[in-house]
Amino acid sequence: MNSLLTFSNWTPEQAQSLLELALKVKQQPQDYTDVLRGKNIIGYFEKPSLRTRLSFDIGVQKLGGHFIYVDTASSKLSGREDAVDMAANMSCWADGIVARVFSHTTLETFVENASVPVVNALCDKYHPCQAIADYLSMYETFGTVKGKTLAYVGDGNNVTHSLLLLGALLGCHQVVVTPEGHEVDEDILAHARSLAEQTQTTITTSNDVDAAKGADIIYADTWLSMGDDTPLEKIKARFMPYQVNSAMMKLTGASHVMHCQPAHRDLEITSELIDGEKSLLMLQAENRMHAQNAVLTTLFA
């Protein structure tokens, strides 16, 4: 692995190794304190972040490295120069780039023009660092990912895409339930299905929440992703039947609930579930750092 933009070109074996490494990094952090010794990682953020920014900053410190945060809005960097030139300049000083961008093409440009590894910290299409933290959380909760079923309910988005790709590689059956018109990207879905064939895993899509019956985990995300300025009032009535709430947990029989956060209480998920005993939200948040440190260890060790 030279960079991590998506998991689309990974093998099931590579995905399983990363998952196992993430668990090791979490359980034996003392073995990884020199992975980034003397190395500088730039965090280039075009969109806001709480979890990703802080978990990378603190995580890089735990690996012995230094993290430099650049946010394009307050530094007024947007539109000043081409991504081609930014990537080449950043490579002059840094050992790696962690980037949260509006468009996936910016990341592709970074990879082509940077001489250091690039990690996708969320773009319009993918959120791979979230997916590896989520499957680590599932692994710790159930003792396995293989053969379990995760049902994502809501807007088909960047988080859904990364869950589909990595879940297919790790052997997790998946159900994606979205309102009509908010389905996942067809090409990414087709690619995830081709990966799922390698692990004999099923991927089901539906507009009907009944499709999530029998799932082990129900997964929610915001109905409006960053960069989407559709007024909430315009989509609320359409999405409300897809709210992850106790009735849905009862209908599906799922034992746990996940959300990548930021969560909008009592919109896509109820407060009762966020704060309840079925919630894996804080485990997912905690695991962001361990999972990302496994990615950085794979790239730099």
50 binds, among ligand CP, ligand NVA, none (CB under 5 to 8 A by kind): ligand CP
Considering only 13, 27, 37, 50, the residue that binds ligand CP (CB under 6 A) is 50
Considering only 181, 227, 262, 276, the residue that binds ligand CP (CB under 6 A) is 262
**Is 127 annotated as catalytic?**
yes
Q: What is the smallest separation between the CB atom of 225 and ligand NVA, expressed in angstroms?
A: 3
- How far apart CA 28 and CA 215 sit, in angstroms, is 32
Q: What is the smallest separation between the CB atom of 130 and ligand CP, expressed in angstroms?
A: 5
**Is 130 annotated as catalytic?**
yes
Burial class of residue 232, CB neighbours in 10 A (0-12, 13-18, 19+): exposed
Residue 227 or 241: the one with the smaller Cβ distance to ligand CP is: 227
Q: Where are the alpha helices (DSSP H) in 99-231?
A: 104-113, 128-142, 158-170, 186-198
Which 260-289 positions form the footprint of ligand NVA (CB under 6 A)?
260
Q: What is the smallest separation between the CB atom of 150 and ligand NVA, expressed in angstroms?
A: 16
Burial class of residue 92, CB neighbours in 10 A (0-12, 13-18, 19+): exposed
72 binds, among ligand CP, ligand NVA, none (CB under 5 to 8 A by kind): none
Helices (H) and strands (E) counted in the chain, each on its own, are 11, 9
Q: What is the smallest separation between the CB atom of 52 and ligand CP, expressed in angstroms?
A: 3
Q: CB–CB of 287/145 below 8 Å?
A: no
Residue with tokens 């009592």: 266
**Is 256 annotated as catalytic?**
no
Considering only 26, 51, 148, 256, the residue that binds ligand CP (CB under 6 A) is 51
Q: What are phi and psi of 99, to 5 degrees?
A: -130, 130
Q: Helix, strand, or coil here: 275?
A: helix
Contacting range for ligand CP; rule: CB under 6 A; set: 9-17, 47-55, 84-92, 174-182: 47-55
Considering only 110, 221, 249, 295, the residue that binds ligand NVA (CB under 6 A) is 221
Q: Per-residue string for binding with ligand CP, 105-124, x by CB under 6 A?
A: -----------------x--
Contacting range for ligand NVA; rule: CB under 6 A; set: 27-35, 152-160, 163-171, 286-294: 152-160
Neighbours of 142 (CB within 10 A): 15
- How far apart CA 213 and CA 64 sit, in angstroms, is 45
- How far apart CA 293 and CA 35 sit, in angstroms, is 9
Contacting range for ligand CP; rule: CB under 6 A; set: 21-29, 211-219, 227-235, 259-267: 259-267
Contacting range for ligand NVA; rule: CB under 6 A; set: 68-76, 112-120, 219-227, 244-252: 219-227
Please count the residues of this chain forming the interface with ligand CP, following the rule CB under 6 A.
9
In the chain the first and final C-alpha atoms are separated, in Å, by 11
Q: What is the smallest separation between the CB atom of 133 and ligand CP, expressed in angstroms?
A: 8
25 binds, among ligand NVA, ligand CP, none (CB under 5 to 8 A by kind): none
Asked if 52 is part of the footprint of ligand CP (rule: CB under 6 A), the reply reads yes
Note the residue count of the chain. 301
**Amino acid, res. 274:** I
- How far apart CA 89 and CA 190 sit, in angstroms, is 36
Side-chain-side CA neighbours of residue 104 (13 Å): 12
| Active-site amino acid positions | 100, 127, 130, 221, 260, 288
Instruction: Please give the residue ranges that form the binding site for ligand NVA (CB under 6 A).
Output: 122, 157-159, 221-222, 225-226, 260
